[in-house]
Amino acid sequence: MSELSKLTISGARAKLRAKEITAVELTQSCLDAAAGADALNAYCAHTPEIATEQAKAADARIGAGDAPDMCGIPLGIKDLFCTKGVKSQAASNILDGFKPEYESTITTKLWDSGAVMLGKLNMDEFAMGSSNETSAYGPAINPWRREGSDAKLTPGGSSGGSAAAVAADLCLAATGTDTGGSIRQPAAFVGITGVKPTYGRCSRWGVIAFASSLDQAGPMTKDVRDAAIMLEAMAGYDAKDSTSANLPVPNFESMLTGDIKGKKIGIPNEYRIDGMPAEIEKLWADGADMLRDAGAEIVDVSLPHTKYALPAYYVLAPAEASSNLARYDGVRYGKRATLQSGEGINEMYERTRAEGFGDEVKRRVMIGAYVLSAGFYDAYYRRAQRVRTLIKKDFDDVYASGVDAILTPATPSAAFGIGEMKNADPIKMYLNDVFTVTVNMAGLPGVAIPTGMDANGLPLGLQLIGRPWEEGDMLNIAYRLEQSAGFVSKPNKWW
């Protein structure tokens, strides 16, 4: 039974419907795997009682012939999603002990479809980070290691716990969120598939906010087919989210034909950055060749404002974060600092936020407050919004020319070591998002697919950027690329 956690969603679905296994057996396999993987620090809360009850209910639905695709599938849930009665603290000390009295829309949809919650997954604090090292729980650890080395590597961030759990078979799939690459970068670092849907495709209600105009939830899975299955269950209109799109959700899995003959794939010149490792260059070129061999037309395209995306992002995202995080003041919920004699309400605010937030969150809140201040609003925030409009227009122009998807690297390197960036300039860490932030700035769908290995035996991924609302077409191209790349490597178990 210990092997059941290694199944994909589609593989488990087939076995569950054929009555070869039960949801309870599948869930127990994942619970056992998660309980034995403390060294990865992927889970920050285990929910075996809830999982067992949900699995029993799933078995009953399957027996009655009422089984949606996700019925009986055990999932890990990123700590950013509010789950009723279960600790949900965005990996921050300021929300220590917070147990919501409500369920996020996405997790509600998943439970309604019969999915099973194994527990909550580690992440960067308030989703601010690219290495999972800002977490109040301590860093999640990548299950992969460099050949010949025992050095612990980052699983990426902010959805590092989700990435590590899926790659190590501690769950069949996981939820993630992506504000500037926080699904796609960790997916590439651990050799799994990660999808950032079009902004508005999945509800943000009940997902703890970082930057509201950029945040979007998506699935992190073992392959593209699983991503298509899970995305359909997560997506859909939600009246409680004013940015949710009232559009029908297609059957994404049915669109995975692998036929991409005649599709036009763009290669953006501006993504050829200075100092790009030769391995990443080769991976990108090989990916383009795979798609060409499958019948796609490869064309060079220009996204001229790409070079401004990262600086504009690191104005807009902290600005929105400083506003969103103003609510954490020790008054209504979460941590409240102990006051000294004679101190009042202002000291309570200051102490609570000083003790509750980590260094990276404080840095971004201060940057955000600065760019929104009266003397700098026009110089920074308004200018960054104009740049964002130009970035979106770049993509609109490319897609208007007939391009169906854009192929880029997912990350500028393979996974780096825990602590390697500790004393580096924060901007060096921010450069991990160089290939991913444009997708969030333009509100587009993107997917990271593992397609190769570096010289140290670590996974490398490519990114496909799709047309807005055409996740199905994007996933079909990703499916073809996945088939051509034939990436099946798994980390050697050491934990």
Task: Report, as residue numbers or ranges, the catalytic residues.
Answer: 78, 158, 182
Tally Cβ neighbours within 10 Å of residue 77: 29
The gap from C-alpha 139 to its chain's centroid, in whole angstroms, comes to 16
Which two tokens mark 89?
A: 């603290």
Give CA separation, 189 vs 138, 219, 220, in Å: 18, 16, 12
Omega before 158 cis (within 30°)? yes
Rounded Cα–Cα distance for residues 438 and 313 (Å): 8
User: Considering only CA atoms, which of 371, 435, 456, 490 is closest in space to residue 130?
Assistant: 435
3-state secondary structure of 125: helix
3-state secondary structure of 115: coil
3-state secondary structure of 140: coil
Please give the biggest Cα pair distance in the chain: 74
Q: Which helix (H) or strand (E) holds 330?
A: none
Rounded to the nearest 10 degrees, what angle do helices 278-293 and 471-485 cross at? 110
User: Considering only CA atoms, which of 208, 278, 275, 216 is closest in space to residue 243?
Assistant: 216
Tally Cβ neighbours within 10 Å of residue 457: 16
Rounded Cα–Cα distance for residues 250 and 229 (Å): 11
Which ranges of 325-442 does DSSP label H, i.e. alpha helix? 345-356, 359-372, 383-400, 426-430, 437-442
3-state secondary structure of 216: strand
The type of residue at 124 is D
Q: Which helix (H) or strand (E) holds 137?
A: none
The type of residue at 6 is K
3-state secondary structure of 164: helix
Adjacency order of strands within the sheet including 297-301: 43-46, 116-121, 74-78, 173-178, 216-221, 193-196, 446-453, 459-466, 405-409, 264-268, 297-301
The phi and psi torsions of 40 (rounded to 5 degrees) equal -85, -20
